[in-house]
């Protein structure tokens, strides 16, 4: 209850907005949209990369804590090496997280939570670095203390990261609960409905985007997998539909991501003309 209230207050903390804007601007300058940023979003994996990378610093630091608590003097060199590896593993995890966070557009609440999530992890990492230097100087008790403070910061950051993903739905496929259907050919629209280029229709309860592009007919899901943007309000570009919210490109031919921030494709349908009607059936 207390945590839920605290999170609601954090989500509404407009005071964070100038800092959010400044950091988002800096991230987008260093990391503009493109191949590198798409890789950090997780496009090659087909889902977000950040949750996978954060397991490294978390797991390695837990290893350090176990050695500190139960390993005795003999475990000191191993604990320090493990701590060094944990510190080095922070950079890629942070880069992936910042890439995702910088593409949340006008979604202010997750951006505020994300800023504090990142801040907690910066504080935690600072303690881990201090711990490494203390251990190197032979001050092992101080090193252990700094590591414990770092673990506390990591716990706070982890809680906020969980809130971002599971309460606020950041980096979650917005089509995850849609099963590909219909399996049989189903009437979708009149051929004349496609004169405008793109039209959104419902087929077997699914939102389907029918597109006429360069003389070809295509049918894909109509909801952007990144944060649910309405693709029928987007634009057509080089065989892709471009989401109007944050610019993800999805290939019309197969629904795959051509450009992020989305890391997961959208549903794809076979399409045919029967008389003056357009029919579709799900692929996959």
Name the residues that contact ligand FES, by CB under 6 A.
Answer: 224, 226-229, 243, 245-248, 261-262
162 C-beta neighbours (distance < 10 Å), count: 13
- Cβ of residue 243: shortest distance to ligand FES, in angstroms? 3
Supply 145's token pair.
Answer: 């203390």
SS3 231: helix
In the complex with ligand FES, the residue whose CB is nearer, 194 or 262, is 262
Q: Provide DSSP, 12-62.
A: T-GGGHHHHHHHHHHHHHHS-SSHHHHHHHTTTTTS-SHHHHTHHHHHHHH
Q: Minimum distance from CB of 168 to ligand FES (Å)?
A: 14
Q: Are strands 240-242 and 206-213 parallel, antiparallel or unpaired?
A: unpaired
- Identify which of residues 80 and 248 has a Cβ nearer to ligand FES in the complex: 248
Q: Which is nearer to ligand FES, 150 or 229 (CB)?
A: 229
Q: How far is the CB of 103 from ligand FES (least distance, A)?
A: 7
Instruction: Give me the torsion for CA of 79, 85, 90, 95, rounded to 10°.
Output: -170
Least CB distance to ligand FES at residue 259 (A)? 9
- Compute the half-sphere exposure of residue 32: CA atoms within 13 Å on the CB side of its CA: 1
Distances (CA, A) of 79 to 121, 145, 173: 20, 13, 38
Closer residue to ligand FES (CB): 24 or 90:
24
Nearer to ligand FES, 57 or 261 (CB): 261
Closer CB to ligand FES, 241 or 282, in the complex: 241
Helical spans, DSSP H, in 46-163: 50-53, 55-70, 76-88, 90-101, 108-136, 140-162
CB of 239 to ligand FES, least distance (A): 17
Shortest reach from residue 228's CB to ligand FES, in Å: 6
Separation CA 204–CA 168 (nearest Å): 28
Which residue in this structure is represented by tokens 């057509």? 236
Q: Closer CB to ligand FES, residue 255 or residue 261?
A: 261
Q: How far is the CB of 226 from ligand FES (least distance, A)?
A: 3
- As given in the structure block, the two tokens for residue 43 are 């496009």
């Amino acid at each position: 209850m207390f945590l839920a209230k605290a999170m609601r207050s954090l989500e509404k903390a407009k005071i964070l907005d100038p800092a959010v804007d400044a950091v988002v601007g800096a991230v987008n300058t260093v990391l503009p949209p493109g191949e590198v940023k798409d890789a950090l979003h997780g496009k090659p994996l087909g889902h977000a990369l950040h949750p996978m990378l954060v397991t490294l610093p978390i797991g390695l630091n837990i290893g350090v804590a176990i050695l500190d608590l139960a390993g005795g003097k003999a475990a000191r060199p191993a604990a320090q090496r493990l701590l060094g590896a944990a510190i080095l593993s922070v950079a890629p995890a942070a880069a992936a997280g910042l890439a995702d966070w910088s593409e949340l557009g006008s979604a202010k609440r997750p951006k505020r939570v994300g800023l504090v999530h990142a801040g907690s992890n910066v504080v935690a990492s600072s303690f881990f670095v201090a711990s490494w230097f203390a251990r190197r100087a032979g001050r092992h008790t101080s090193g252990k203390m700094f590591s414990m403070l770092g673990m506390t910061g990591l716990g706070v950051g982890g809680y906020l990261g969980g809130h971002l993903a599971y309460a606020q739905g950041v980096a979650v496929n917005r089509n995850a609960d849609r099963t590909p259907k219909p399996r049989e050919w189903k009437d979708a629209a009149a051929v004349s409905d496609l004169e405008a280029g793109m039209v959104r229709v419902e087929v077997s309860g699914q939102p389907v985007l029918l597109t006429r592009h360069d003389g070809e007919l295509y049918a894909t899901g109509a909801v952007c997998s990144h944060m649910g943007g309405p693709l029928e309000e987007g634009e057509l570009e080089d065989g892709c539909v471009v989401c109007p919210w944050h610019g993800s490109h999805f290939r019309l031919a197969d629904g795959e991501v051509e450009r992020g921030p989305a890391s997961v494709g959208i549903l794809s349908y076979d399409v045919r003309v029967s008389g003056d009607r357009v029919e579709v059936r799900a692929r996959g």
